[in-house]
């Protein structure tokens, strides 16, 4: 019989117990013992769940109180000096201080950096490493959790992030140096962990090396071979499974196959094409863990189709060496579809969350004919359903031509027809403080404690106040403040056809922050205007231009669970047409400046460089499709933040927005350096201050920032704006910062500086 295996399970708990307990601990309301017990209880519950479903190979050490990369830092003692840690077992307070910074218990330290985990919306803590630093075993978490499971009669598989991936994802502090130069000091610590686990009775140990499936140079490939050459000698009786996911091995196949390990996991959902290459050279007796159930989305699989892949693999590697598994850890899917009591039954019959995905794994492993049959029926019914197919939308998308993506005139000519503004025009990115009062009003509306009319009155009052304050401060292009929005994607999803929402579909974003991504299940269209009411109201209160504010098609796509039955590009095109309609309605309502936010454009880049240009082509196309319908006189803005822009500067030009505002304080001089080498043609507002801190920037600081921009950009190109939206800030610091920002712009105009 084929083994049913799992790579990782979401730790949160059905009632979000882990989030509550952890945040409770941070605020001092939950004792350490209680937090630890909540963790232990969740682990027990989730192991039992996996066992009861029929999973043979259950992971441990996939649980984390914050993040698995951070766990790995603790494991190997990679604790930056500022945390004052003294080199014994890394305690939970040090651990959380690394994650979030701390001003408690005599410590005043900043957090470690956080960044996106490959192409997911999960953020990991980036290890900070110094040249020549040493490592030492500093946490026994994997062993403790292995023993906990063992005590319950479960011979679990400890899961570690592999040493090469750990180093490749780390950041070199101080002088730039080759992170892989630390491999030889790191490996003995891993060897110690493996041998302790083997002694404790682990029969398999999983080492996650997703970076092996990305573009790798010669030295990096050699590092994998070297690392596993060393580790395989130290694993005792335990066998090693190297796990790759999110991309295919393709050109790293031979490296992967040459690793002296007993098993290899590959993602056959993202990269089914790698299977044939792997099978032609598959080493005899090695276990193939076939990731055939998608760990990155919420759709029920077509099991019959996946069984064909498995049969092909089995014919070569032998059934006894074949494991069936999800494509990656189930961390990126919600916990359990059974919790959704309000979902429409037809939609629900198409979905699978973590628990249901494990049932699919088991059905395939055990060859459960009935389940396989049922899944194919469900997939067919979804394909044919009236719910997903909208002929009008499909016709319209098919009829789009290049002309629909081109503005009437080039930028230079358009500019003359657009709003008249002083040099160094000032604006904000859209949202103003979402105070507890604003959130309470939304909650009351949902709980029916507030009528729709009263809620609208309330939002109008917020808008009125915000317009007045912006006028007083002297900003040039105003915004309405986005008070009516819970979230920049959800707000639009709720008003578009083809979307649905869950009650409990939480997915970890970072630490204790979880999001409930909307599910795009069908053809997308816009039944009626979504934002016009608020923009028109705001514009009616002032002579200054008010900027309409929309989320772009790529960002909506990127932050939702998307259909798996058509290419992402096609769904993005439908989203673009819906946004295009909204843009035109805003224009017709007298809005002269419209911003379409695309903060997720950069993060949508495929993991492999070879696929970049294809993605960028359609991403630019859909942005243009959303925006190009307006008259020359309408000024189109876009906004991006918190990513590496220098890879995509030229692409930004191709989007042909009249103005882009772009976060700059954190990625700082890097962005401006990019503009030294490359001349951006349209207008641009590199953020002049970081909105993540309540700190109020002084006018002089802002003029300094603007002057450094002037070195690489023309006066006439530069806009003055913060880095990003202000929704997480308080009013007081917001107003003070914006006043200084306007003062700085005025100084620049007067040339008095």
Residues in the interface with Zn ion (CB under 5 A) total 3
Partner whose binding site includes residue 38, from ligand GLN, Zn ion, none (CB under 5 to 8 Å by kind): none
**Catalytic-role residue among 226, 265, 504, 692:** 692
Partner whose binding site includes residue 145, from Zn ion, ligand GLN, none (CB under 5 to 8 Å by kind): none
For Zn ion, the closer of residues 573 and 727 by Cβ is 727
For ligand GLN, the closer of residues 548 and 629 by Cβ is 548
For ligand GLN, the closer of residues 210 and 430 by Cβ is 430
In the complex, the smallest distance separating the C-beta of residue 434 from Zn ion, rounded to whole angstroms, is 14
Contact (Cβ atoms closer than 8 angstroms) between residue 264 and residue 317: no
Contact (Cβ atoms closer than 8 angstroms) between residue 699 and residue 688: no
Active site residue 692: yes
In the complex, the smallest distance separating the C-beta of residue 308 from Zn ion, rounded to whole angstroms, is 44
Q: Contacting Zn ion (CB under 5 A), which of 12, 97, 724, 735?
A: 724
C-alpha dihedral sign at 267, 268, 273, 277:
positive
Beta-carbon contacts of residue 656 (< 8 Å; ≥ 6 apart)? 407, 411, 624, 627, 628, 682
For Zn ion, the closer of residues 162 and 599 by Cβ is 599
Partner whose binding site includes residue 430, from Zn ion, ligand GLN, none (CB under 5 to 8 Å by kind): ligand GLN
In the complex, the smallest distance separating the C-beta of residue 731 from Zn ion, rounded to whole angstroms, is 19
For ligand GLN, the closer of residues 231 and 641 by Cβ is 641
For ligand GLN, the closer of residues 302 and 597 by Cβ is 597
Is 660 an interacting residue with respect to Zn ion (CB under 5 A)?
Answer: no
In the complex, the smallest distance separating the C-beta of residue 648 from Zn ion, rounded to whole angstroms, is 15
For ligand GLN, the closer of residues 554 and 724 by Cβ is 724
- E strand map for 312-466: 322-326
Instruction: Classify each residue of 523-558 as buried b or exposed e, where b means 16 or more C-beta atoms within 10 Å of its C-beta.
Output: bbbbeebbbbebbbbbbebeebbbbbbbbbbbbbbb
User: 478, 276, 462, 305: which is closest to 380 by C-alpha?
Assistant: 305
Residues between 578 and 617 with contacts to Zn ion, criterion CB under 5 A: 599
Query: CA-CA distance, 512 to 297, in Å (whole number)?
Result: 21
In the complex, the smallest distance separating the C-beta of residue 430 from ligand GLN, rounded to whole angstroms, is 3
Is 488 an interacting residue with respect to Zn ion (CB under 5 A)?
Answer: no
Looking at beta carbons, which pairs linking 385-389 to residues 24 or more positions away fall under 8 Å?
A: 385/346, 385/522, 387/346, 387/347, 387/521, 387/522, 388/498, 388/521, 388/522, 388/523, 388/563, 388/565, 389/522, 389/523
Is 641 an interacting residue with respect to Zn ion (CB under 5 A)?
Answer: yes
Contact (Cβ atoms closer than 8 angstroms) between residue 633 and residue 592: yes
Give me the sheet containing 239-243, strands edge to edge.
3-4, 322-326, 287-293, 263-267, 239-243, 204-208, 157-161, 59-60
In the complex, the smallest distance separating the C-beta of residue 689 from ligand GLN, rounded to whole angstroms, is 14
Query: CA-CA distance, 586 to 324, in Å (whole number)?
Result: 51
Q: Which residue is nearest to ligand GLN (CB)?
A: 725
Which of 275-283, 309-317, 521-529, 717-725 is the region at the interface with Zn ion (rule: CB under 5 A)?
717-725
**What angle in degrees, to the nearest 10, is found between the helix axes of 354-366 and 369-384?**
130
Residues of this chain that bind ligand GLN (CB under 6 A): 429-431, 482, 488, 549, 597, 599, 639, 641, 724-725, 727
In the complex, the smallest distance separating the C-beta of residue 724 from Zn ion, rounded to whole angstroms, is 3
Which spans of this chain sit near Zn ion (rule: CB under 5 A)?
Answer: 599, 641, 724
Active site amino acids = 692
């Amino acid at each position: 019989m084929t083994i049913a295996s799992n790579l990782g399970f979401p730790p949160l708990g059905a009632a979000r117990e882990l989030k509550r307990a952890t945040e409770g601990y941070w605020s001092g309301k939950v004792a350490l013992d209680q937090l630890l017990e909540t963790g232990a209880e969740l682990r027990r519950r989730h192991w039992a769940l996996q066992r009861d479903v029929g999973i043979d190979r259950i992971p441990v050490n996939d649980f984390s109180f914050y993040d698995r990369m951070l766990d790995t830092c603790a494991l190997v003692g990679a604790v930056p000096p500022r945390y004052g840690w003294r080199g014994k077992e890394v305690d939970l307070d040090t651990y959380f201080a690394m994650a979030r910074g701390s001003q408690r218990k005599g410590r005043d330290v900043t957090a470690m950096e956080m960044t996106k985990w490959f192409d997911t919306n999960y953020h990991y803590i980036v290890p900070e490493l110094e040249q020549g630093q040493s490592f030492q075993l500093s946490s026994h978490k994997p062993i403790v959790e292995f023993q906990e499971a063992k005590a319950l009669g479960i011979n679990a598989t400890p899961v570690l992030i592999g040493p090469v991936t750990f180093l490749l994802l780390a950041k070199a502090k101080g002088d730039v140096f080759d992170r892989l130069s630390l491999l030889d000091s790191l490996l003995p610590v891993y060897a110690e962990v493996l041998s302790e686990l083997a002694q404790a009775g682990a029969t398999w140990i999983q080492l996650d090396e997703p970076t092996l499936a990305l573009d790798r140079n010669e030295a990096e490939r050699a590092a994998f071979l070297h690392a596993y050459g060393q580790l395989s000698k130290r694993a005792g009786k335990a066998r090693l499974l190297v796990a790759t996911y999110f991309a295919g091995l393709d050109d790293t196949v031979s490296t992967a196959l040459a690793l002296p390990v007993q098993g290899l996991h590959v993602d056959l959902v993202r990269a089914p094409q790698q299977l044939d290459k792997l099978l032609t050279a598959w080493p005899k007796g090695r276990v193939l863990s076939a990731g055939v159930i998608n760990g990155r989305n919420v759709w029920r699989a077509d099991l019959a189709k996946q069984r064909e892949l498995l049969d092909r693999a089995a014919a070569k590697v032998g059934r006894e060496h074949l494991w069936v598994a999800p494509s990656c850890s189930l961390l990126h899917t919600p916990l359990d579809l059974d919790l959704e009591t309000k979902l429409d039954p037809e939609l629900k019959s198409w979905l699978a969350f973590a628990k249901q995905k494990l049932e699919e794994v088991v059905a395939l492993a055990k060859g459960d004919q009935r389940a396989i049959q049922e899944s194919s029926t469900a997939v067919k019914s979804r394909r044919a359903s009236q719910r997903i197919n909208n002929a009008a939308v499909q016709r319209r998308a098919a009829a789009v031509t290049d002309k629909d993506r081109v503005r009437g005139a080039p930028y230079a000519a358009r500019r003359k027809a657009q709003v008249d503004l002083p040099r160094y025009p000032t604006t904000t990115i859209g949202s103003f403080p979402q105070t507890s009062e604003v959130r309470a009003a939304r909650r009351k509306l949902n709980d029916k404690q507030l009528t729709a009319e009263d809620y609208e009155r309330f939002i109008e009052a917020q808008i009125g106040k915000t317009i007045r304050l912006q006028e007083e401060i002297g900003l040039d292009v105003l915004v309405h403040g986005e008070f009516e929005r819970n979230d920049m994607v959800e707000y639009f999803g709720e008003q578009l056809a083809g979307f649905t929402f869950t009650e409990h579909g939480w997915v970890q974003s970072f630490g204790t922050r979880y999001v409930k991504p909307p599910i795009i299940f069908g053809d997308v269209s816009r039944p009626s205007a979504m934002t016009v009411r608020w923009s028109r109201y705001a514009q009616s209160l002032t002579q200054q231009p008010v900027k309409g504010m929309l989320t772009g098609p790529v960002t909506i796509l990127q932050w939702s669970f998307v259909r798996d039955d058509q290419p992402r590009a096609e769904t993005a095109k439908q989203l673009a047409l819906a946004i295009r309609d909204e843009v035109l309605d805003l224009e017709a309502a007298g809005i002269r400046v419209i911003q379409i936010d695309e903060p997720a454009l950069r993060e949508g880049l495929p993991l492999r460089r070879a696929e970049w240009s294809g993605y960028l082509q359609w991403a630019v196309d859909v942005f243009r499709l959303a925006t190009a319908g307006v008259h020359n006189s309408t000024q189109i803005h876009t906004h991006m933040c918190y990513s590496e822009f220098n890879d995509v500067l030229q692409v930004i030009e191709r989007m042909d927005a009249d103005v882009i505002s772009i976060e700059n304080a954190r990625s700082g001089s890097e962005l401006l350096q990019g503009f030294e080498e490359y001349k951006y043609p349209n207008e641009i507002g590199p953020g002049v201050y970081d909105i993540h801190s309540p700190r109020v920037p002084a006018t002089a600081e802002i003029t300094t920032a603007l002057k450094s921009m002037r070195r690489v950009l023309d006066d006439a190109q530069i806009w003055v704006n913060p880095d990003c939206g202000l929704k997480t800030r308080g009013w007081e610091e917001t107003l003070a910062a914006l006043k200084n920002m306007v003062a700085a712009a005025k100084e620049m105009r007067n040339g008095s500086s």
